Chains A and B, each alone.
Chain A
Amino acid sequence: MTAVGDQDVRRPALPGGIGDSVTRREDLRLLEGNSSYLGDLRFADLAEAVFVRSEHAHARIRTISTAAARRHPGVLAVVTGPELAEWVSPLRIAPKIEGLQPMSMPPLATGRVRFHGDPVAIVVATDRYVAEDAAELVEVTYDPLPAAMDIRESLAGTAPLVDDSLPSNVLCDQRYVNGNPAAVIESAAQVIRVSFAQHRQTHGPLEPRGCVAVWDRSGQHLTCHTGTQVPAPYRTSMAARLGLPEHQVSVVCPDVGGSFGQKLVAYREDVAVAAVARQLGRPVRWREDRRENLLSALHAREDEVDLEVAFTAEGVVQAVRARLRSDFGAYAYFPGNYMLQVVGMMIPGPYRFQDFEYDLKVVLSNKTPAGPYRAPMAMCTWVTEGMMDAVAHALGKDPVEVRTLNLLSENELPYRSAAGQVYEHITPTTTFHRAVEAFGYEQARVEQAKARAEGRLVGIGVASVVEPTTYGSAFYKLAGIPGSGHEAALVRIAPSGAVSVSTGLMSTGQGYETMLSQVVSEGLGVPADTVHVLLGDTDVPPYGMGSRGSRGATAGGGVALLAARDLRDKVLRIAAHRIGTDAGLLTVSGGAIHRLGPDGSEPAGLTVADVAAIAYLDPTLLPPGVEPGLEILRAYDPPPMTFSNSVHLCRVEITPDRGAVRIGRYVIAEDAGRLINPLMVEGQLHGAVALGLAGALQEQVVYSPEGRNLTDSFRDYPLLALDEMVDELELVHCDTPNRRTPGGMKGMSEGGVMGGIAALTLAVQDALGTPVDQLPLTGERICELLDGRA
C-alpha cells in the first residue's frame, strides 16, 4: 500500500507534474474546431428523433393520434408512452430511506402528463426537419387538470395530487436532531427567526442534451454515444431500463459542452431513443434544442429554509432549529432527500454550535424534475452567513466580530459538526483572517460609512464556505443512498514504453485529460506529455463512479496517483533486479531510471521503455515472483467526506433608480488542498463564482400560476454575459494538504457557487439595510425592496 497524505503542498512542482500550471492538452482540438461533440459525430443512415411534449402542466391524456405522423414521408417510427412501456421499464427510485416515498417514472408519459415539457411521444425520421414536421402531426387531446405549483399548498394537502400512487405530494419527510436545541432555544437570552427562499434555476450547459444510439443487429450490441458525467453508472442504468444484460451495452462519451450536474442520468429521452434504435436497427440521434433543454432537462435549487436561532448577548450562537422545504418537480430521478439533506448537513458551516435540528420536507409539483446542479447545497452558505448577519444586526455588532466569536479554529479540529460531519484538514480561521485582511475590511467599513453619508447604497458581504467535495462510500451508506464513492484507475505501460491512464471520470470541460496526465507524470516519473489519457468509453476504464460533486481531483486524481505509484514500484523492482541493486536506491524521473545518491540522482542507464521491454518481451529477466506486463488497476474509496474551505468578501453598490447591482471588489481566500493545476483551479473558481452570481442576480425559471414555463429561451432565462461579470476576483491561496488523501488533494469547484450566492446577497442586503429573504435580486426586486424600506 502506498502511503497517502504525505505531500507537502508547498513543494515546488516538477514540470508537468502536480502543482504545475500547464496549459491544457484538450485546448488544441477545441481551439481548432476539431472537437467531437455529439453533433459532430458522423454515422451512416443516421435517423433523427424529436419528442412530442406536453404544453400542459397537468392533464389527462384522452387520445393520441399518430396515424398522420406515421404516414408522413420520411418518418420511420412514432412511439407513444404506452407502446414504449412494452420495451422499457420505468425508473424506480425506492431506496430504503426513512421518510422517503418510493416513486416510478415511465419512459414517456402514460395516462397523464405532469409538467410542461413532459414527453408523450417520440418521432423518428430520416431528417430532423422531417421529424419536426411529423411531430406536429401527432394529435394529442388532453383534459387539463389543476396543477400543483406551490410548496405550501402541497404541504397543507390542498394541492392536486401529482403522483396518484402516493398518499400526498410530500415525497420525503425527515428529521435530524443533535443535542437539545428545543431546550436551549426555550431558555436562550435571545432568539431570532430568519427566512431564506431560493428560486428555481437550471444548469444551462451551452451544449444541450442528446444521444446517438446504435444497435448492432449481428452482434446484438447497443452503443450509446452521449455526453454524460458518469459513463459506467449510465451504462448500468441504460441496460437495466432496456432489459438488456449489461455486456450488450457500451457507452461512449464524445467531448461534452458543459453539464454542471445536468448530464448525470440516463434521461427518459435517452432510453426512448435507444429502444427505438434497437427496434429500427439503425442509428438514431436526438439533439435537443434549447427550448426542450429549458423545459425538460433537470431543474434545481427551489429550496426554502427558515431558522430559529438562539444566541448569547455576546453573539455566540447556541442553538439552531431549521425547517427545510424543497420543490422536487413532477418525477424523481434521484431520492427525494438527495440535494436538500446536504443543505441541512452543511448549515453548521465553520461554526461551533452543537444544538441543532432540522426537519426536511421535499414536495412534488407539476414542474420539471429537479436534480443536483453544481453545488446542490449552495444555499447553505447564504443561510449560515445570513444567520450570522442577523445575529450581528440584532446585537448591533459588526458581522466580522460575531463570526470570529463562533468560528472554529484549526486547533479544535478534528471537529464533529452539529450535523455530524467530521471536519479535519480545513483552515476556517486562517482563511477568514487572511480574507478580511486582504479585503481591507476595516477601511472598507469606514469608506462604506462615508458613502452612506452621501446617500449611496453601498454594502459589504462576508461568507465563509465549508465545501463538501468528495463523498466516500461511508457517506452514501449513512445517507441510505445506494452506491459507492470509490473511483478506479488503470495505469499501463505498453511494451514500447507508452504510458496510458484510464479512470471512470468523464470531463465536461474540467480538463481531466490534462489533470490525469499530471498526476500520472508525478506518480510514475514520466513526462506528462507522454501520458495518454482515455476517458468516457465504458469498454476501456475500470468501473468508476464518474464525475460528480467535486470528486475529480481527490477520487479520480487520487486513484490515478495510487496506481501510478504502484506501477513505478514495479518498474523499480524490475530495474533493480536487472542492474543488481536495491529498488529503494532507485527512482524514476523523466522516463528514465536513476540511482539515488547523496548529491542527487544520476542516470542508471536504463529507461522505463527498457523495463517495459523486459516486462513484456523478455520475462525470464524478471525478478522471482514478478508477473509479466506493466499494468496496475487500483480502486480508491475516499474518506466519508473531504472538505475545502474559503471565505468570500465583496462590496456592492446599488443604483437606486434601476435597482442595478454593481459589484466592486471581490476577494476570495481559499484552501483547496494540494492543487494539481493551479491555473485550472482558478478557472474552476471563476466559473463557480460566476454561476453563483448569475443565479443570485438574474437566472430564474418562471412558471405561470397554471404551470406554463415562461422561461423557455435564453432571452427569458438570461445567462450571465461577459459585461455582467465582476471585473476581478482577487484570490488569496491558503492551500494546505488533506493528510488522508493521496497527494493531499481536497477537490474544489462548488465552493465558488456557495460563496458567490452568499457574499453577493448579503452585500446587497447590507446596502439596502433591509432583510433579503427571497432571490433572485433582479432590478425589479431590488426596487421593490427599496420601496418597502421607504
Chain B
Amino acid sequence: MTHAEGTHASSPDERELAFTANGAAVRVSTPVRKLLSDLLRDDLGLAALQLGCEDGVCGACTVLLDGEPVRACTMLAVQAEGREVATLEGLAGDPFLRDAKRAFSESHALHCGFCTSGILTTLVACDRAGCRSSEEALSELSGNLCRCTGYLNIRRAVRSLWTDDEEHPGTGGPRDTGESR
C-alpha cells in the first residue's frame, strides 16, 4: 500500500485525500481527475476489482463505499474523501463471503473470473443490508454482467446461500440467515 502521508500536492490539479481503505487510514496526494478504481488498483495495490467497461455498466469494479455497493470506475478518487472503502481483499474475513466463495466454486459459478470480484462484493453488500431471500439478492446481481457462465450456476450458488423457505429456516443452504453479524 502506498502511504503518501506528508507529501504535498505537486500541482493545482492534485489534492490531498484522506479516506479509509479496508479499515486502514489512507492519505495520498492524487490528481483530482483520477478514478477511484485506478487509485485502488494502481496506487494501493487493491487489484481484486477489475475494469470491464470503465462506464459503470458491467459491475466488475464494484466496491463498498460506506457499506453501499458502488462502481469504482465512475467515481473520482477524491469523492472518497472521509469515507470508508471496502474491496474484496478487505472483506476476506467475512463469514458470508467465505461461504459465498465456497458456493461459487462448488456450483462452478465462475469461468474466467473477471466479473467474480464484483459479484461477490455485491453479494456481501446484500447480506449486510439484511437481504432476506436469494431472489432479492439475485435481483441486485442483475447489475453485474458475466459473459461466460450464462448465469445459471451463479443463480444456483446464490440460492444455496439463502434459506428462502421461512417455515424451515436453516435447511436450504450452508448458513442460517438468522445469524447476526
Contact = CB atoms under 8 A, between A and B. Distances in A.
A220 to B, nearest CB: 30
Contact of A35 (B111, B113, B151): B113
Interface stretch (A89-97, A307-315, A505-513, A602-610): A505-513
Nearest to A207: B114
Contacts of B48: 32-35
A257 B58 CA distance: 13
A287 B114 CA distance: 15
Interface residues of A, number: 55
Interface string B59-86: 0100000000000000000000000000
A753 to B, nearest CB: 11
A8 B161 CA distance: 37
A257 B112 contact: yes
Nearest to A756: B150
Interface in B28-58: 31, 33-34, 38, 41, 47-55, 57-58
A258 interface: yes
A32 B149 CA distance: 19
B163 interface: no
Contact of A509 (B47, B53, B88, B111): B111
Nearest to A255: B113
B144 interface: yes
Report the 3 A-B pairs with minimum CB-CB distance, sorted nearest first: A33-B48, A509-B112, A30-B113
Nearest to B138: A722
A443 B147 CA distance: 35
B75 to A, nearest CB: 16
Contact of B105 (A23, A713, A720): A23
Nearest to A208: B52
B108 A687 contact: no
A27 interface: yes
Contacts of B87: 33
Interface in A653-703: 679-680, 682-683, 686-691
B92 interface: yes
A683 B153 contact: yes
A32 B113 CA distance: 10
Contacts of B148: 258, 509, 687
User: DSSP class of B's interface residues: helix, strand, loop or mixed?
Assistant: loop
B150 A690 contact: yes
A498 interface: no
Contact of A260 (B120, B147, B152): B147
A205 to B, nearest CB: 6
A65 to B, nearest CB: 25
Given A31-B116, A257-B114, A722-B141, A206 B50 contact: yes
A714 interface: yes
B177 to A, nearest CB: 21
Contact of B154 (A31, A33, A129, A722): A722
A27 B145 contact: no
Given A129-B33, A129-B34, A687-B111, 15 more contacts: A33-B49, A33-B88, A33-B89, A34-B48, A35-B113, A39-B41, A206-B145, A257-B50, A686-B152, A687-B149, A688-B150, A690-B149, A690-B150, A719-B145, A729-B150
Contact of A30 (B31, B51, B116, B146): B116
Contacts of B104: 27, 31
Interface of A: 23-24, 26-28, 30-35, 37, 39-40, 128-129, 204-208, 255-258, 260, 287, 289-290, 508-511, 679-680, 682-683, 686-691, 713-715, 719-725, 728-729
A341 to B, nearest CB: 27
Contacts of B152: 686, 725, 728-729
A670 to B, nearest CB: 15
Interface residues of B, number: 52
A260 B151 CA distance: 17
24 contacts: A23-B108, A24-B105, A26-B113, A31-B110, A33-B89, A37-B114, A129-B34, A206-B52, A206-B112, A206-B115, A257-B50, A508-B112, A683-B153, A686-B151, A686-B153, A687-B149, A691-B147, A691-B150, A714-B58, A719-B145, A719-B147, A720-B151, A721-B142, A722-B138
A679 to B, nearest CB: 5
A464 B81 CA distance: 58
Contacts of A723: 138-139, 142
B160 interface: no
Contacts of A33: 47-49, 87-89, 117
A729 B155 CA distance: 12
A40 B50 CA distance: 9
Most A CB contacts (10 A, CB to CB) among B110, B150, B153 go to B150
A318 B150 CA distance: 38
B97 to A, nearest CB: 9
A328 B48 CA distance: 37
Contact of A722 (B51, B89, B92, B146): B146
Contacts of A689: 150
Contact of B142 (A23, A683, A686, A722): A722
Interface string B126-140: 000000000000110
Contacts of B53: 290, 713-714
Contact of B51 (A39, A680, A715): A39
B101 interface: yes
Contact of B108 (A24, A128, A715): A24
B112 A207 contact: yes
B94 interface: no
B176 interface: no
B106 interface: yes
Contacts of A691: 147, 150
Nearest to A510: B111
